[in-house]
C-alpha cells in the first residue's frame, strides 16, 4: 500500500499490481480496495491493476465528513492519476465508484479510456438508498469476523445464493476490523452524515444521464446482480439502449454488489480492457 496526498492534505491509500493497460478500481460507498482482490488475481498478469481507497475509507485518512462527496472523490482520482503519470485509464467502478466515473466524464473525459459499471447506473433505486441508511455509519451487530461471515448468507438472501463460505469470510475481513471484543467498520462513521441529505426520501436525485452520455466513444461494460436493489432492470435496459455496444452481464444468484470473481463479470472486464487499448 502506498499513499498520495490530496489537495486538502489527506493521505489517500492506493496499490498498484501487475503490468499492462491500466485498470483503475474504485470501490463502493463503504467499501475499500480489498474488494478488488479477485480482479488482481484475474488480471495482474495482463493489466496494471490500480486500487484506491476513497477518503475516509480503508487505509486512507479521515477528513471533514462533508468532503465525502462524489465530485471531491473524483478530484482525488485525478490527483492519483497525475501522481502515477497516467494519461488515461479504464475504470472499474463498483456502485459509488461508478458514480465517480460518471462525474469524471464531465471533469476529465480525456483521462477515461473505458468504464465498467459494477451494479450501478445513472439512476439509483430508492429502496436501495433506504437499505444503505439502515447500516451506514452504525456499529456492526456482529462481535467477531466469524460471526459476521456466518450471518451474511441469511442477511443477503434471497439476492445472493450459492456463495462459498470462504467468499463470505473474505467479505467480513474486507468490511470490518477486529478489536477487543467487537468489530468496527473500516471507514469513518462520519460518512453517514455526509450521505444522509442525498439519501433522504424527499431528496431530488440529480440527472446523471448526461454524464453517462458523455462517455460516448469510450468502451463500456455493465455488470448487474439479478437481485440488485440499486440498479433496476429498467435503468440497465436504458443504459443498453443508449449504448448497444456495451458489454453486459446479468448475474444470477447475485445482488448488490457482485463479488467480481464470477466468470461472467471477469469476461466483461476483459472485453472492455481489450477494446480500450
Number of C-beta neighbours around residue 6 at 10 A: 20
Indicate if the pLDDT at residue 123 is higher than 90: yes
Split at pLDDT 50, 70, 90, the class of 138 is: very high
Asked if omega into 180 is within 30° of 0 (cis), the reply is: no
- What whole-number distance in Å separates Cα of residue 269 and Cα of residue 221? 7
Neighbouring-strand partners of residue 182 = 179
- Predicted confidence at residue 200, as pLDDT, reads 86
For 245-258, the pLDDT digits (tens) are 999 999 999 999 99
- Predicted confidence at residue 82, as pLDDT, reads 98
- Predicted confidence at residue 94, as pLDDT, reads 98
Split at pLDDT 50, 70, 90, the class of 180 is: confident
The bridge status of strand 89-94 relative to strand 21-26 is parallel
- What whole-number distance in Å separates Cα of residue 198 and Cα of residue 103? 16
For 188-202, the pLDDT digits (tens) are 999 999 999 988 888
Q: What percent of the chain has pLDDT over 70?
A: 100
**Does domain 2-133+206-276 correspond to CATH entry 3.30.930.10?**
no
For 25-37, the pLDDT digits (tens) are 999 999 999 999 9
Cβ partners under 8 Å of residue 234, min gap 6? none
Amino acid at each position: 500500500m502506498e499513499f498520495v496526498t490530496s489537495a486538502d492534505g489527506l493521505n489517500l491509500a492506493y496499490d498498484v499490481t501487475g503490468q499492462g493497460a491500466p485498470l483503475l478500481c474504485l470501490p463502493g460507498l463503504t467499501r475499500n480496495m480489498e474488494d478488488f482482490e479477485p480482479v488482481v488475481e484475474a488480471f495482474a498478469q495482463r493489466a496494471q491493476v490500480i486500487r484506491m481507497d476513497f477518503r475516509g475509507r480503508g487505509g486512507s485518512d479521515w477528513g471533514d465528513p462533508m468532503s465525502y462527496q462524489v465530485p471531491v472523490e473524483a478530484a482525488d482520482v485525478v490527483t492519483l492519476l497525475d501522481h502515477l503519470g497516467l494519461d488515461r485509464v479504464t475504470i472499474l467502478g463498483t456502485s459509488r465508484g461508478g458514480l465517480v466515473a460518471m462525474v469524471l466524464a464531465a471533469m476529465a473525459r480525456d483521462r477515461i479510456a473505458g468504464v465498467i459499471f459494477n451494479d450501478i447506473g445513472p439512476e439509483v433505486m430508492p429502496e436501495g438508498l433506504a437499505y444503505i441508511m439502515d447500516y451506514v455509519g452504525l456499529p456492526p451487530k456482529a462481535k467477531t469476523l466469524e460471526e459476521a461471515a456466518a450471518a451474511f448468507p441469511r442477511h443477503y438472501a434471497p439476492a445472493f445464493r450459492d456463495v462459498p463460505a470462504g467468499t463470505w469470510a473474505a467479505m467480513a475481513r474486507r468490511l470490518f476490523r477486529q478489536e477487543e471484543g467487537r468489530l468496527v467498520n473500516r471507514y469513518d462513521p462520519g460518512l453517514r452524515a455526509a450521505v444522509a441529505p442525498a439519501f433522504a426520501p424527499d431528496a431530488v436525485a440529480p440527472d446523471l444521464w448526461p454524464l453517462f452520455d458523455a462517455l460516448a466513444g469510450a468502451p463500456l461494460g455493465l455488470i448487474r446482480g439479478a437481485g440488485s436493489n440499486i440498479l433496476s432492470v429498467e435503468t440497465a435496459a436504458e443504459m443498453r439502449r443508449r449504448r448497444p455496444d456495451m458489454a453486459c452481464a446479468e448475474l444470477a444468484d447475485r445482488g448488490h454488489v457482485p463479488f467480481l470473481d464470477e466468470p461472467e463479470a471477469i469476461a466483461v472486464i476483459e472485453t472492455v480492457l481489450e477494446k480500450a487499448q
